[in-house]
């Protein structure tokens, strides 16, 4: 299949593996930021092709994983109302809130629907004028343009029964939070290619300079990731710390300018709580004042809530790259994809679920 | 698959009287009687059914009888490549075939939702008739219930099948042995993606058609050729991934498969890539896995390819860790192929 097979060529993969082994002279720790990359790394067995001295740690770039528990509980509270049709991307439905998940709400009679694009939600709202239709707008910069477009169109059409529960998060502040932590072990980053396709690469240059870390904007196919790792290691070995773009077929340095303009119009930058990490300043997007009428929290008058995470879940440490899934005493025992304790066990992009599905053999060793 | 052209036939029920199913159609009275006689009897006509008795009295040829049952729920009722009626016949017939049994008889129970268009029921019944006739099974007894509007998805169907193993063949997980080869009978994941495409109105290009089909003919050819089949299992919900895990667990052996050898149509693969789904976990309705000794594998593959040229050897059985399935990835890594978690949920990005 075009645009896929050429990036999964086993011979080229072996060549990159050999080039990586040649360039490495000492141990390095690299974080792949995006959950899509984590998924590919475990699905294709990429770690096996790397020298033992190169450690990959899995970053916080899984939207399902970092959406705060409070926001999941708010979604559940809204979805349980009789007058509501609650729409969400598929894998948010299984994320455990403090008491239940959205699939349970559906089983209890709530109208909870999976959509593939937020624009589908507008059609549902148009077709159901006597219902309140709410979209769970989660995700990084990648999903923001479509979510912004949905809100923008709703305003144009005057769709009074549509609103969004917005919980967008941003990558650069999360990278900064990791780098500025006293416990940080990460020496180089593979930045999330699709985030940069929207936002461009400019925001990463000050981070690379300030913290002296190489940042390689990287794609999601096995060869993309191997090439990203190679470029990152080469910089580390040569003592350089620049922003490089491995994913040039999708990412321009300026990003997608019209998407950025729409995002600026619909959203404003806010402090955001990240599940397992905590509050990070200027790390999220909420609806701007001009679109505040479409804010589901406001429409349904939800009060701010504070809830506790499961005690025996270490997903926060996993998301910061401080622990591996298998370090968790609950991993594969009390916590499985069928009965997840924390969000990292839910999505295929979550580090714990990815390890459970593809690498639990390591536990048997 | 179907030897009857149903497009020009019209529903024998007076649609003007009852264009939609009413509660009375399941109430045991005259309306139910007419539905049974004019719709079901007319479509499934055979002596056992016509006898109008409480049960069907069956003639069984010599051999070991096999019985299986399954219920069918699918939304939408009609999808590219099939419908709930064809599914309800093929699914149960295929379970018999996987035991090495020639399918002979089916029972069928309908749970209809009040308000269902009678024409829709008629189309489903015609599809069942075509599927049964193509597979050589008779639908010999049945039941109809009607539930209130809003309490069903139009039609639910249960079918129970009876077949006979006509020779001494032993097809079961316990016979799987180290060094056996694992063969899949065709490209995977079509049914799940066809139904998802129809349900969510996703326009795949080229369109994905369900693989919904009977498997008995292929199995019969293999049995006639005296291939020493160790085990068969059709891939349905949970896809190929679930079948491999079930058989590895019940045989207490390890299965090693090669991802690049697993047949997958380009449109199914593309749809799975876009939606973030794993094609190995997507449902099939006309594919099976055969586990055969290495010495018989080439002949078995030839027979499977005669029905579907994408059939392929995808791996082998080892005596590694009991119940483990491993997958060699396209770039040469190896990973666990775990049992699917349950509901397939597309990823966010």
Count how many pairs of residues, chain A against chain B, have C-beta atoms within 8 Å: 101
Q: Are residues A353 and A320 in the same domain?
A: no
Closest-approach residue (CA) in chain B for A88: B348
Q: Are residues A67 and A197 in the same domain?
A: yes
Inter-chain contact B331–A8, Cβ cutoff 8 Å?
A: yes
Question: How far does the CA of residue A290 sit from the closest CA of chain B (Å)?
Answer: 27
Closest-approach residue (CA) in chain A for B324: A361
Calpha distance A218→A221 (Å, rounded) = 9
Cβ-defined contacts of A25-28 (< 8 Å, 24+): A25/A237, A26/A53, A27/A53, A27/A54, A27/A55, A28/A53, A28/A54, A28/A55, A28/A187, A28/A188, A28/A233, A28/A236
User: Which of these, A142, A178, A200, A181, lies nearest to A32 by C-alpha position?
Assistant: A178
Question: How far does the CA of residue A153 sit from the closest CA of chain B (Å)?
Answer: 21
* pTM of this prediction exceeds 0.80: yes
At residue A30 the predicted structure's pLDDT band, cuts being 50, 70 and 90, is very high
Closest-approach residue (CA) in chain B for A144: B349
Chain A residues lying within 8 Å of B343, measured CB to CB:
94, 103
User: Cα angle at A195 between A203 and A223, to 5 degrees?
Assistant: 110
The minimal CB distance from B349 to the residues A36, A93, A223 is found for: A36
Q: Are residues A122 and A224 in the same domain?
A: yes
Tell me the Ramachandran region of residue A68: left when phi exceeds 0, alpha when psi lies from -120 to 50, beta otherwise.
beta
ipTM of model: 0.76
Inter-chain contact B345–A10, Cβ cutoff 8 Å?
A: no
In the stretch 82-111 of chain A, residues with CB closer than 8 A to chain B read 89-94, 103
Inter-chain contact B346–A89, Cβ cutoff 8 Å?
A: yes
Q: Are residues A245 and A331 in the same domain?
A: no
Cite the DSSP H helix spans in chain B: 30-34, 42-44, 47-50, 84-98, 118-135, 190-199, 216-224, 239-251, 266-275, 294-307
Q: Which fold has domain B173-336?
A: Phosphoribosyl-aminoimidazole Synthetase; Chain A, domain 2 (3.90.650)
pLDDT, residue A4, reads: 83
pLDDT, residue B349, reads: 53
Say if residues B346 and B339 touch (Cβ distance below 8 Å): no
In the stretch 26-55 of chain B, residues with CB closer than 8 A to chain A read none
The minimal CB distance from A338 to the residues B266, B341, B345 is found for: B341
pLDDT, tens digit (0-9, with 9 covering 90-100), for A150-186: 999 999 999 999 999 999 999 999 999 999 999 899 9
Q: Are residues A301 and A332 in the same domain?
A: no
Chain B residues lying within 8 Å of A349, measured CB to CB:
347-348
Inter-chain contact A45–B338, Cβ cutoff 8 Å?
A: no
pLDDT, residue B1, reads: 40
Architecture of the domain made up of B23-165: 2-Layer Sandwich (3.30)
pLDDT, tens digit (0-9, with 9 covering 90-100), for A82-141: 999 999 998 899 888 888 999 999 999 999 999 988 999 999 999 999 999 999 999 999
Say if residues B287 and B214 touch (Cβ distance below 8 Å): no
Chain A residues lying within 8 Å of B275, measured CB to CB:
116
pLDDT, residue B338, reads: 84
Question: How far does the CA of residue A31 sit from the closest CA of chain B (Å)?
Answer: 19
pLDDT, residue B249, reads: 96
pLDDT, residue B33, reads: 86
Q: Is B199 on the interface with A (CB under 8 A)?
A: no
SS3 labels along chain A: CCCCHHHCCHHHHHHHHHHHHHHCCCCEEEEEEEHHHHHHHHHCCCHHHCCCCEEEEEEEECHHHHCCHHHHHHHHHHHCCCCEEEEECHHHHHCCCCCCCHHHHHHCCCEEEECCCHHHHHHHHHHCCCCEEEEEEEECCCCHHHHHHHHHHHHHHCCCCEEEEEEEECHHHHHHHHHHCCCCCCCEEEEEHHHHHHHCCHHHHHHHHHHCCCEEEECCCHHHHHHHHHHHHHHHHHCCCCEEECCCCCCCCCCCHHHHHHHHHHEEEEEEEECCCEEEEEEEEEECHHHHHHEHHHHCCCCCCCCCCCCCCCHHHHHCCCCCHHHCCCECCCECCCCCCCHHHCCCCCHHHHHHHHHCHHHHC
Inter-chain contact A347–B202, Cβ cutoff 8 Å?
A: no
Q: Are residues A225 and A80 in the same domain?
A: yes
At residue A55 the predicted structure's pLDDT band, cuts being 50, 70 and 90, is very high
Q: Could you give the 3-state DSSP secondary structure of residue B334?
A: strand
The minimal CB distance from B335 to the residues A63, A358, A364 is found for: A358
Chain A residues lying within 8 Å of B269, measured CB to CB:
1, 4
Q: Is B203 on the interface with A (CB under 8 A)?
A: no
Mutation test of the interface with chain A: which of B269, B277, B347, choosing the one with the most A Cβ atoms within 10 A?
A: B347
Calpha distance B39→B53 (Å, rounded) = 17
Q: Which range marks the domain in which residue A44 is found? A: 1-325
Cα→Cα distances B300→B103, B232, B235, B258, B290, Å: 21, 12, 18, 19, 9
pLDDT, residue B258, reads: 97
| Crossing angle for the helix pair B84-98 and B216-224, to the nearest 10 degrees | 20
pLDDT, residue A74, reads: 96
pLDDT, residue B345, reads: 64
In the stretch 268-287 of chain B, residues with CB closer than 8 A to chain A read 269-270, 273, 275-276, 278
CATH number at residue A8: 3.40.50.11740
In the stretch 308-327 of chain B, residues with CB closer than 8 A to chain A read 321, 324, 326
Q: Are residues A336 and A321 in the same domain?
A: no
Inter-chain contact B348–A48, Cβ cutoff 8 Å?
A: no
Cα→Cα distances B230→A327, A344, B288, Å: 41, 40, 13
Q: Is A338 on the interface with B (CB under 8 A)?
A: yes
pLDDT, residue B8, reads: 46
Q: Using CB atoms within 10 Å of the CB of residue A214, give its burial: 0 to 12 exposed, 13 to 18 middle, 19+ buried.
A: buried
Mean pLDDT per 10-residue run, chain B (349 residues)? 47 65 87 87 90 90 97 95 97 97 97 94 96 95 94 96 95 97 98 92 86 96 96 95 97 96 95 89 96 98 96 97 92 85 62
Q: Is A227 on the interface with B (CB under 8 A)?
A: no
Q: How many domains does chain A have?
A: 2
At residue A365 the predicted structure's pLDDT band, cuts being 50, 70 and 90, is very low
Structural domain spans, chain B: 23-165, 173-336
pLDDT, tens digit (0-9, with 9 covering 90-100), for A299-350: 999 877 878 777 788 888 887 778 888 888 889 888 888 888 887 887 766 8
In the stretch 165-194 of chain A, residues with CB closer than 8 A to chain B read 194
Q: Are residues A319 and A331 in the same domain?
A: no
Q: Which pair of structure tokens corresponds to residue B89?
A: 């016949």
Q: Are residues A334 and A311 in the same domain?
A: no
The minimal CB distance from A44 to the residues B275, B333, B336 is found for: B333
Say if residues B303 and B225 touch (Cβ distance below 8 Å): yes
At residue A361 the predicted structure's pLDDT band, cuts being 50, 70 and 90, is low
Closest-approach residue (CA) in chain A for B345: A90
Inter-chain contact A63–B349, Cβ cutoff 8 Å?
A: yes
Which positions ≥6 away from A192 have C-beta within 8 Å? A33, A34, A36, A37, A61, A140, A142, A171, A217, A218
**Dihedral (C-alpha) B137, B140, B145, B149: value to the nearest 10 degrees?**
30
pLDDT, tens digit (0-9, with 9 covering 90-100), for A217-251: 999 999 999 999 999 999 999 999 999 999 999 99
Chain A residues lying within 8 Å of B261, measured CB to CB:
none
Closest-approach residue (CA) in chain A for B331: A10
Q: Using CB atoms within 10 Å of the CB of residue B237, give its burial: 0 to 12 exposed, 13 to 18 middle, 19+ buried.
A: middle
pLDDT, residue A276, reads: 78
User: Cα angle at A223 between A258 and A186, to 5 degrees?
Assistant: 80
Half-sphere exposure of A236 (CA within 13 A, CB side): 24
pLDDT, residue A364, reads: 43
> CB B287: neighbour CB atoms within 10 A?
29
Chain A residues lying within 8 Å of B348, measured CB to CB:
63-64, 89-92, 138-139, 143, 347, 349
Which positions ≥6 away from B166 have C-beta within 8 Å? B61, B62, B63, B102
Q: Are residues A290 and A347 in the same domain?
A: no
pLDDT, residue A348, reads: 67
User: Which of these, B91, B94, B86, B84, lies nearest to B156 by C-alpha position?
Assistant: B84
pLDDT, residue A359, reads: 66
Q: Are residues A221 and A256 in the same domain?
A: yes
Inter-chain contact A94–B345, Cβ cutoff 8 Å?
A: yes
Q: Is A3 on the interface with B (CB under 8 A)?
A: no
């Amino acid at each position: 299949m075009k645009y896929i097979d050429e990036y999964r060529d086993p011979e080229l993969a072996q060549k990159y593996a050999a080039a990586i082994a040649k360039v490495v002279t000492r141990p390095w720790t690299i974080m792949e930021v995006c959950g899509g990359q984590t998924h590919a790394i475990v699905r294709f067995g990429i770690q096996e092709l790397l020298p033992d001295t190169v450690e990959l740690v899995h970053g916080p770039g899984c939207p399902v994983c970092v959406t705060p528990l409070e926001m999941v509980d708010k979604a559940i509270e809204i979805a349980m109302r009789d007058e509501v049709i609650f729409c969400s991307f598929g894998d948010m439905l299984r994320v455990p809130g403090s008491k239940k998940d959205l699939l349970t709400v559906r089983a209890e009679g709530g109208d909870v629907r999976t959509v593939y694009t937020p624009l589908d939600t507008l059609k549902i709202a148009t077709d159901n004028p006597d219902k309140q239709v709410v979209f769970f707008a989660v995700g990084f910069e990648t999903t923001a343009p479509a979510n912004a477009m949905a809100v923008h169109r709703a305003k144009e059409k005057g769709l009074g029964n549509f609103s969004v529960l917005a919980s967008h998060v941003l990558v650069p502040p999360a990278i900064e939070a990791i780098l500025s932590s006293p416990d940080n072990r990460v020496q180089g980053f593979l930045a999330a290619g699709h985030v940069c396709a929207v936002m461009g690469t400019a925001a990463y240059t000050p981070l690379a300079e300030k913290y002296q870390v190489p940042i390689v904007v990287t794609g999601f196919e096995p060869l993309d990731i191997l090439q990203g790792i190679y470029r990152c290691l080469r910089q580390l070995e040569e003592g350089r710390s620049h922003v490089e773009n491995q994913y040039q077929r999708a990412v321009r340095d300026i990003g997608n300018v019209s998407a950025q303009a729409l995002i600026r119009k619909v959203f404003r930058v806010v402090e955001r709580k990240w599940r397992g990490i905590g509050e990070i300043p200027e790390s999220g997007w909420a609806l701007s004042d001009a679109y505040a009428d479409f804010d589901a929290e406001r429409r349904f008058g939800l009060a701010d809530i504070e809830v506790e995470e499961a005690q025996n879940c270490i997903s926060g440490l996993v998301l910061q790259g401080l622990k591996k899934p298998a370090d968790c005493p609950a991993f594969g025992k009390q916590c499985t994809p069928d009965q997840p304790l924390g969000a990292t066990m839910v999505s295929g992009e979550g580090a714990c679920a990815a390890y459970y599905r593809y690498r639990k053999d390591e536990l048997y060793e | 698959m179907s030897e009857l052209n149903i497009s020009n036939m019209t529903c024998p029920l007076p649609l003007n009287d009852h264009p939609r199913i009413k509660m009375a159609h399941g109430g045991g009275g005259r309306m139910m009687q007419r539905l049974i006689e004019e719709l079901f009897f007319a479509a499934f006509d055979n002596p056992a059914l016509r006898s109008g008795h409480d049960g069907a009295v069956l003639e069984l040829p010599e051999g070991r009888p096999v019985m299986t049952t399954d219920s069918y729920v699918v939304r939408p009722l009609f999808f590219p490549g099939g419908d709930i009626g064809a599914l309800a016949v093929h699914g149960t017939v295929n379970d018999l075939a996987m035991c090495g049994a020639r399918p002979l008889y089916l029972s069928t129970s309908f749970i209809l939702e009040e308000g269902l268009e009678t024409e829709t029921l008629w189309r489903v019944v015609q599809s069942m008739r075509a599927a049964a006739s193509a597979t050589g099974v008779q639908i010999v007894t049945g039941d109809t219930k009607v539930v209130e509007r809003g309490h069903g998805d139009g039609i639910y169907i249960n079918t129970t099948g009876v077949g006979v193993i006509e020779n001494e063949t032993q097809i079961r997980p316990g016979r799987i042995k180290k060094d056996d080869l694992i063969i899949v009978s065709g490209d995977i994941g079509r049914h799940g993606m066809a139904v998802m495409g129809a349900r969510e109105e996703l326009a795949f290009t080229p369109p994905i058609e369900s693989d919904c089909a009977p498997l008995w003919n292929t199995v019969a050819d293999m049995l006639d050729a005296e291939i020493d089949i160790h085990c068969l299992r059709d891939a349905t919900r949970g896809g190929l991934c679930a079948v491999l895990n079930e058989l590895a667990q019940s045989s207490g052996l390890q299965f090693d498969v090669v991802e690049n050898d697993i047949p997958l149509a380009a449109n199914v693969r593309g749809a799975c890539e876009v939606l973030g789904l794993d094609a190995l976990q997507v449902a099939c309705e006309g594919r099976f896995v055969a586990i055969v000794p290495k010495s018989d594998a080439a002949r078995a593959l030839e027979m499977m390819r005669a029905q579907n040229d994408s059939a392929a050897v995808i791996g082998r059985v080892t005596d590694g860790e009991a119940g483990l399935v491993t997958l060699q990835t396209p770039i040469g890594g190896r990973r666990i192929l775990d049992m699917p978690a349950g509901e397939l949920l597309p990823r966010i990005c």
